[in-house]
Amino acid sequence: MSVQISPSILSADFARLAEEARAVEGADWLHVDVMDNHFVPNLTLGVPVVESLGRATSTPIDCHLMIEEPDRWAPAYVDAGAGSVTFHVEAAAAPVRLAREIRAKGARASMALKPATPIEPYEDLLPELDMLLVMTVEPGFGGQAFLDIMLPKIRRVRSLIDRHGLDLWLQIDGGVSSETIERCAEAGADVFVAGSAVYGAEDPAAAVRALRAQAQAARAR
């Protein structure tokens, strides 16, 4: 799988979301963080904003649901136009059923692990997924420091994917920047979410290109 960059609009100006979405149009995905003030201690946006964003940009939407009861709410994000929907395994009642429902509705199904959640209990679920998200910060806020202690988990997920011969993308989210992206790419990540490193830059589109080049060079090593 080649390197993909998914800028997180959590670090964008929420009063100018359409413009901010268009500022990263060379990116592979637009990462939209949905938070409900219960699963994480922060509140962002929901289905109507995802629908509007979909009309405002041609970049596919990568919805990261940091919410309770994803079994109940995730399908509505597919209907809202998301091309990929990520739920947290810690919150899902029936992750296999949910992943199948997301796929059946026509989106890519993705499952996220918080830093303290191991991959090993979920090895048998991997064929049900299109992407696995390894969080490299505790979910809830942009601009946090990258957790280096997650690198061994990234390596373990990569070797499981390879061992089972799966076509499964490995996304990382949290603290991804020019300082940290190479380590993650070397460990086996291929889809990189970056919020503050993109929207905190003078030129967000140039920041996307620079991160992509760094990750591609590191993966080729």
Residue ranges in contact with ligand DX5 by CB under 6 A = 8, 10-11, 31, 33, 64, 137, 139-144, 173-176, 193-197
* Own/partner long-range contacts of 45-53 (Cβ < 8 Å, ≥24 apart): 45/14, 47/76, 47/77, 47/79, 47/80, 48/80, 49/17, 50/77, 50/80, 50/81, 50/82, 51/80, 51/81, 52/17, 52/18, 53/9, 53/17, 53/18, 53/21
Q: Which does 4 bind (CB under 5 to 8 A by kind): Zn ion, ligand DX5, none?
A: none
* C-beta closer to ligand DX5: residue 46 or 166: 46
Of all residues in the shown chain, the one whose CB is closest to Zn ion is 64
Catalytic choice (28, 33, 62, 130):
33
Q: Which does 52 bind (CB under 5 to 8 A by kind): Zn ion, ligand DX5, none?
A: none
- Residue 88 in contact with Zn ion, rule: CB under 5 A: no
**In angstroms, what is the minimal distance from the CB of 64 to Zn ion?**
4
Catalytic choice (28, 130, 173, 190):
173
- Residue 114 in contact with Zn ion, rule: CB under 5 A: no
**In angstroms, what is the minimal distance from the CB of 163 to ligand DX5?**
28
**In angstroms, what is the minimal distance from the CB of 51 to ligand DX5?**
20
**In angstroms, what is the minimal distance from the CB of 135 to ligand DX5?**
7
**79 labelled catalytic:** no
* C-beta closer to Zn ion: residue 67 or 151: 67
Binding mask 29-48 for Zn ion (x = CB under 5 A): ----x---------------
Beta-bridge mates of residue 192? 5, 172
**162 labelled catalytic:** no
Residues in 58-87 at the binding interface with Zn ion, rule: CB under 5 A: 64
Q: Which two tokens stand for residue 198?
A: 């993109």
Distance CA 166, CA 164 (A): 5
Q: Which does 84 bind (CB under 5 to 8 A by kind): Zn ion, ligand DX5, none?
A: none
Q: Which of 28, 62, 173, 190 binds Zn ion (CB under 5 A)?
A: 173
Residues noted as catalytic: 33, 173
